């Protein structure tokens, strides 16, 4: 009997619904614990603004096209996807929970931890908000503070500080609705900065302290980690699209031309532009071409990136870990592809910076397909999805292609209907109207007029 190797490896499909792109990645873990990428689909996103779905039909089409592209590469169909969520509606708060145990001599178990977490889900939130993630910070057992893992300890009073991430119910409902209308089911919804961190941050960086800056099309997501724990999250309502808009207005060009200027000739640091070449843009409807200085282009980009970095610095200070982040800043997302953005980040923040690429998690030979910060969120969602499947929280996500059967009833009559002229043909009564129509179409064409 043959064993389905894909089922053994727990195939998972991740769906990154962003402002500029919708990306579907199918993969599984190999015997060495590395990701095998089996299919990638990436299409333009036109129904999402600042991480929030604003047009259901356009988003449904983008989801269908992206997953279909991944299915064609893998030559199989999928039914369940792991989705990310982001946007300006994402908020975070800190709360302290406490549980009193009946038996002080018994050991603290995972059930006690789960009870603390479930109590957090009962918090009263502003209308329209829901809890997305509850992340423990540190525990206290009988006034003994600073405990990271209390399981196995004895005590009566168990307390914990929690970092709670919330989002709008309508935003997550719209994501689920889009995925369902595309013909798929949502296994779970993960905050995208958490997914990106899983893809590009190392264990050493998480332990030392690091700030992850994910610059997307519509928003910039900030995550601060220290001692391996997520300490602070924030969303800035600026991203790559705002830079493109600044170029469009500053250089008086079309939007698609501004995007090409940013991608091909753009730099985040004007001081690094030495040649100062002149870039020619075709004019409209026979008009003369427009010439743009490469240095002026860099100055426009740098001004907006510095504004984004000002918000980043403020959020890092607000987290309280500004002086503790030995790992500095890691930048990912499509905005991290801007030339010299890591240098500008170091100059502007005074912290070390690097561009995060999801390569360490991938099996040999798979990195070329997704070797870009653009795919960081998708790879992270894939990792989170595989963890959920291995933990038994999500069922197997693979299925054979469905065979579509046309079950439209044939227009026949077993007995003569009243009031309609019919003729007997093949032992059944057919409508004389359909018979006449058939005769008209099968007759030889009349060439005489």
Q: What is the pLDDT of residues 216-259, one digit of tens each?
A: 998 999 999 999 999 999 999 889 999 999 999 999 899 999 99
Whose CA is closest to 132, among 160, 100, 93?
Answer: 93
Strand locations in 173-257, DSSP E?
185-191, 210-215, 220-226, 229-236
Q: Which of 357, 377, 392 is the last residue of a domain?
A: 357
DSSP 281-309: EPPSTTPPPEEEEHHHHHHHHHHHHHHHH
Same-domain status, 162 and 221: no
Rounded to the nearest angstrom, the gap between the alpha carbon of residue 439 and the centroid of all alpha carbons in its chain is 57
For position 351, which CATH number holds? 3.30.420.40
235 and 152 fall within a common domain: no
Rounded CA separation 227/324 (Å): 10
d(CA 85, CA 166): 11
Q: Both 211 and 118 in a single domain?
A: no
The number of folded domains in the chain is 3
Q: Is residue 15 part of a domain?
A: no
Angle between helices 192-200 and 376-390 (to 10 degrees): 90
Residue 291 has pLDDT above 80, yes or no: yes
Q: Does a structural domain hold residue 373? A: no
Q: 338 and 207, same structural domain?
A: yes
Q: Model confidence over 250-281: pLDDT tens digits?
A: 998 999 999 999 999 999 999 988 887 899 98
Residue 447: pLDDT band with limits 50, 70, 90:
very low
Picking from 350, 305, 358, 302, the residue whose alpha carbon sits closest to that of residue 328 is 350
Give the C-alpha separation, 14 to 25, whole Å.
5
Tokens of 328: 């500095």
- Closest residue by Cα to residue 354 from 368, 373, 367, 382: 373
Residue 309 and residue 221 share a domain: yes
Identify whether 3 is part of a domain: no
Pairing mode, strands 52-53 and 48-49? antiparallel
- Examine the fold and report which residue of 315, 332, 357 is the final residue of a domain before the chain moves on: 357
- For residue 125, which phi and psi values (nearest 5 degrees)? -110, 165
The DSSP output letter for 87 is S
Q: Which residue has better confidence, 183 or 423? A: 183
> Is there a single domain that holds both residue 347 and residue 247?
yes
- What's the CATH code of the domain at 135? 3.30.1490.110
Instruction: Tell whether 161 and 234 lie within a shared domain.
Output: no
Residue-wise pLDDT for 90-105, tens only, equals 999 999 999 988 887 8
Do 229 and 323 lie in one domain? The reply is yes
Instruction: Note whether 133 and 217 are same-domain residues.
Output: no
Do 245 and 330 lie in one domain? The reply is yes
DSSP alpha helix (H) spans, 340-375: 341-349, 367-370
Whole-angstrom Cα distance, residue 304 to residue 88? 18
Do residues 211 and 341 share a domain?
yes
- Structural domain containing residue 340: 203-357
> Could you tell me if 26 and 13 are in contact, meaning their C-beta atoms sit under 8 angstroms apart?
yes
Domain membership of residue 9 (yes or no) is no
d(CA 275, CA 182): 49
Same domain, 333 and 220: yes
**Model pLDDT, residue 426:** 41
| CA distance readout (Å), 219 to 19, 210, 235 | 8, 20, 7
> Is 345 within the bounds of a domain?
yes
How does DSSP classify residue 124?
Answer: -
Strand order in the sheet with 210-215: 229-236, 220-226, 210-215, 329-332, 353-355
Does residue 66 lie within any of the structural domains? no
370 phi and psi angles, rounded to 5 deg: -130, 25
Q: Which pLDDT score is estimated for 418?
A: 37
Collapsed DSSP state (helix, strand, coil) of residue 111: helix
| pLDDT tens per residue across span 335-377 | 999 999 999 999 999 999 999 998 888 877 766 778 889 999 9
396 domain residue, yes or no: no
Band of the pLDDT at 120, cuts 50, 70, 90?
very high
All residues at 6 or more sequence positions from 207 whose CB lies less than 8 Å from its CB, including other chains: 227, 228
Q: Is residue 391 part of a domain?
A: no
Domain boundary (141, 167, 193) is at: 167
Residue of 3, 9, 24 lying closest to 382 (CA atoms): 24
């Amino acid at each position: 009997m043959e064993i389905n190797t894909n089922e053994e490896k727990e195939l998972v499909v991740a769906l990154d619904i962003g402002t500029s792109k919708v990306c579907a990645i199918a993969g599984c873990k190999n015997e060495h614990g590395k990701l095998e990428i089996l299919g990638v689909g990436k299409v333009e996103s036109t129904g999402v603004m600042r991480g929030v779905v604003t047009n259901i039909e356009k988003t449904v089409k983008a989801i269908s096209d992206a997953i279909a592209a991944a299915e064609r590469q893998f030559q199989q169909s999928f039914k369940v996807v792991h989705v990310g969520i982001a946007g300006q509606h994402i908020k975070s708060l800190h709360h302290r929970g406490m549980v009193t145990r009946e038996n002080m001599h018994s050991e603290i178990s995972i059930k006690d931890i789960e009870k603390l977490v479930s109590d957090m889900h009962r918090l009263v939130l502003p209308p329209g908000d829901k809890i997305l993630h509850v992340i423990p910070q540190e525990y206290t057992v009988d006034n003994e503070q600073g405990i990271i893992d209390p399981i196995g300890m004895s005590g009566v009073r168990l307390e914990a500080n929690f970092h709670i991430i919330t989002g709008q119910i309508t935003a997550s409902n719209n994501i689920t609705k889009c995925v369902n209308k595309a013909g798929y089911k949502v296994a779970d919804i993960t905050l995208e900065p958490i997914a990106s961190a899983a893809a590009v941050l190392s264990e050493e960086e998480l332990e030392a302290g690091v700030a992850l800056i994910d610059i997307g099309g519509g928003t910039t997501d900030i995550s601060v980690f220290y001692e391996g724990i997520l300490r602070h999250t924030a969303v800035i309502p600026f991203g790559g699209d705002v830079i493109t808009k600044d170029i469009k207005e500053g250089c008086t060009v079309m939007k698609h031309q501004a995007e090409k200027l940013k991608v091909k000739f753009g730099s985040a640091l004007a001081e690094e532009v030495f040649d100062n070449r002149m870039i020619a843009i075709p004019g409209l409807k026979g008009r003369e071409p427009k010439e743009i200085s490469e240095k002026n282009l860099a100055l426009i980009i740098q001004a907006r990136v510095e504004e984004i970095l000002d918000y980043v610095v403020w959020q890092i200070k607000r987290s309280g870990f500004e002086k503790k982040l030995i790992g500095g800043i890691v930048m990912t997302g499509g905005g991290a592809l801007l030339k010299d953005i890591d240098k500008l980040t170091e100059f502007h923040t005074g912290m070390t910076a690097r561009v995060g690429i999801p390569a360490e998690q991938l099996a040999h030979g798979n990195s070329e397909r997704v070797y870009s910060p653009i795919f960081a969120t998708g790879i992270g969602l894939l990792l989170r999805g595989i963890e959920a499947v291995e933990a038994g929280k999500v069922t197997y996500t693979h299925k054979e292609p469905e065979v579509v059967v046309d079950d439209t009833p044939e227009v026949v009559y077993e007995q003569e209907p009243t009031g309609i002229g019919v003729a007997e043909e093949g032992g059944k009564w057919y409508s004389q109207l359909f018979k006449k129509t058939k005769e008209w179409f099968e007759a030889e064409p009349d060439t005489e007029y």
